[in-house]
Chain A
Amino acid sequence: MKHGQQDYSKTDKGGQRKKGGKRGKVGPWPRLQKFWDIRAACNFIGGGTGAGLLLVAGFYALQGLDNTPLVIAGFLSISFGLFMVFLEIGRPWRSINLFFHPQTSWMTREGIVAIPLYVSMALSVFFAGQFIGVLASISAALLAGLFLYCQMRILHAARGIPAWRHVAIKPYMLITGMTEGLALALCISVTSAHTALVPILALLLFMRLGFWLRYAHQLRIDGAPEASCNKVDDLFIWTMVGNLLPVVLLVADWWLEVEAIVVLAGLIAAFSGWYTKAIVVTKAAQTRGFRLPRTPVRGQGQSRVVGQSGFRQNQ
């Protein structure tokens, strides 16, 4: 056992989601949150990808291209994410209460945005090829952007989780959602994809890599829990491969012109984003722990300044 740490698990069970007698490791140091698991991560995965798909669908509508498959894919993706949230919450049949706090809660705002988003998606499919359909697609794209923004703010509002609270997570969440959606859009409409999609995807991949590296660097610089930083650092190879390999494949397709290569690039780009989000939500989400700035004056009459357990002591 390290200095500054003591296992007090015999009496102290910590704030945690409890099911079937499972116990979490507890103490003053940061520890992994257990309230949101892969189901919550799927909301960010499905919501981000769906929003990205609808943004591309809006672009297609402006170009006069058939965007119905993309809208349907976006609908399925966002619905999957929201359904997983439905499975996550403790009292799912009270879900209507979710809409009660738009004044400050980004979760409420996400739910509110979802309503006109679904209406726009339905109109877009129902009036496909008509002027109303184009307007609905553009409306869906704008609302999807708002939906993605809400998701980004949901993570950032969690003051108890430094890895989510960090400001550098915000641009990453936006860009990765757009990247995943665009990558899937390329896979879905590979035979009829707009020529601009490939260079835009390559640009987004570079941006996503840049924002991720910045996030990983800043997280450590700004003193997030060591375990969070380590989990994020563990994804270095993954993010390099997940962002650069698709670019290499897209460049290779420039000469080879094999559709399967584009599909492969799109799938790798999307899956790497999904995996990274899943890790950020479920594995890198360490709490702040308990900070004791000073020890009480007792006995010898001395107080000492204390570094926080689970954090680098030079911060």
Chain B
Amino acid sequence: MTRYVMVADLRRCVGCQTCTAACKQANATLPGVQWRRVLDIEVGEFPDVSRVFLPTGCQHCGDPPCEEVCPTTATYQRDDGSVQIDHDLCIGCGYCALACPYEARYIVDEAEFAYGMEPMPNEAARFDEGKIGVAQKCTFCIDVVDAGIAKGLKPGVHPEATPACVNACISGALTFGDKDDPNSPVSKLLAKVEHFRMHEDLGTDPGFYYIWDKKPEDLM
């Protein structure tokens, strides 16, 4: 089996938002829509304050609540574990967005561009009417991944088979790959670090891991 997951090393993320920009460039999302986000969080109280950058987006859950509630089967899970949306089936009811604990979904009812209602030539060239009025979210750049695999490349290893945000990350904080493959970058990485998954208690089995420390020496 294949289970694509993403790993974010919170020790490395510097909050530069390059992944966010790369995602917008790769997927031509409209202003205000960010499939890959980085939250800037300040925690603690003076003088013990920490600043943490938290990359978020669709967690491509193993048990996706969005897929469960979707009345149209527009949201579905592929055999590789990624959760996708068939925009031609979606009716834009928004139920999936309310079932998602990660606030990863967007619905744009009316297109608005960088400079108002009229798109710039570059925006018009890539504007997808099919995504208006329906749910949209991170796809793990699955078309790129599929194309890469078709060429014999390995997702998470070769950039041509890897999501744009991972390729763009300047600090190597994001890693992508098949968690069921013990030789994949994510499997090797997760084996030697302490990590958590967000809202894991909800039983969603998220496919997005956050690294917060290395494993103690005696466990390595």
Q: Is the interface of A mostly helix, strand, loop or mixed?
A: loop
Indicate which residue in B10, B39, B69 contacts A157 across the interface (CB closer than 8 Å): B69
In the complex, A104→B73 CA distance in Å?
A: 10
Q: Within 8 Å CB of B46, what residues of A?
A: 3
Q: In chain A, residues 270-289, which have Cβ atoms closer than 8 Å to a Cβ of chain B?
A: 285, 287-288
- B contacts with A, residue count (CB < 8 A): 70
Q: Does B17 contact A (CB under 8 A)?
A: yes
A11 pairs with B20, CB closer than 8 A: yes
Q: Within 8 Å CB of B109, what residues of A?
A: 17-19, 90
A90 pairs with B69, CB closer than 8 A: no
Q: Does A23 contact B (CB under 8 A)?
A: yes
Q: Within 8 Å CB of B38, what residues of A?
A: 12
Q: Does A226 contact B (CB under 8 A)?
A: no
Q: Within 8 Å CB of A287, what residues of B?
A: 101, 103
Q: What residue of chain A has the Cβ atom nearest to residue B100's Cβ?
A: A160
Interface string of A1-45 (1 = CB under 8 A from B): 001111010011111111111010001100001011000100000
Q: Does A64 contact B (CB under 8 A)?
A: no
Q: In chain A, residues 90-109, which have Cβ atoms closer than 8 Å to a Cβ of chain B?
A: 90-92, 94-95, 97-101, 104-108
Q: Given A11-B20, A13-B32, is A101 in contact with B72 using a C-beta cutoff of 8 Å?
A: yes
Q: Given A5-B42, A303-B212, is A297 in contact with B11 using a C-beta cutoff of 8 Å?
A: yes
Q: In chain A, residues 39-82, which have Cβ atoms closer than 8 Å to a Cβ of chain B?
A: 40
A296 pairs with B211, CB closer than 8 A: yes
Indicate which residue in A104, A161, A285, A306 contacts B43 across the interface (CB closer than 8 Å): A306
Q: Compute the total of residue contacts between A and B using a CB distance below 8 Å.
A: 216
A94 pairs with B91, CB closer than 8 A: yes
A160 pairs with B103, CB closer than 8 A: yes
Q: In chain B, residues 170-219, which have Cβ atoms closer than 8 Å to a Cβ of chain A?
A: 196, 198-199, 202, 204, 210-214
Q: Does A253 contact B (CB under 8 A)?
A: no
Q: Does A111 contact B (CB under 8 A)?
A: yes
User: How many Å from the CB of B177 to the closest CB on chain A?
Assistant: 21
Q: Given A4-B43, A4-B44, A288-B199, is A100 in contact with B213 using a C-beta cutoff of 8 Å?
A: no
In the complex, A89→B54 CA distance in Å?
A: 32
Q: Does B93 contact A (CB under 8 A)?
A: yes
User: How many Å from the CB of B189 to the closest CB on chain A?
Assistant: 14
Q: In chain B, residues 80-109, which have Cβ atoms closer than 8 Å to a Cβ of chain A?
A: 89-95, 97-109
- A contacts with B, residue count (CB < 8 A): 65
A160 pairs with B52, CB closer than 8 A: no
In the complex, A99→B10 CA distance in Å?
A: 42
In the complex, A281→B164 CA distance in Å?
A: 37
A296 pairs with B212, CB closer than 8 A: yes
User: Could you tell me which A residues sit within 8 Å of B by CB distance?
Assistant: 3-6, 8, 11-21, 23, 27-28, 33, 35-36, 40, 85, 88-92, 94-95, 97-101, 104-108, 111, 154, 157-161, 164, 285, 287-288, 290-298, 303-304, 306, 309
The 5 closest A-B pairs by CB, nearest first: A90-B92, A90-B133, A35-B94, A296-B10, A15-B103
User: Could you tell me which B residues sit within 8 Å of A by CB distance?
Assistant: 9-11, 17, 20, 30, 32-34, 37-46, 48-50, 52, 54, 56, 65, 67-74, 89-95, 97-110, 112, 132-134, 137, 196, 198-199, 202, 204, 210-214
Show 6 residue pairs from A and B whose CB-CB distance is below 8 angstroms, ordered by the A residue: A6-B41, A21-B32, A101-B70, A160-B65, A291-B199, A297-B213
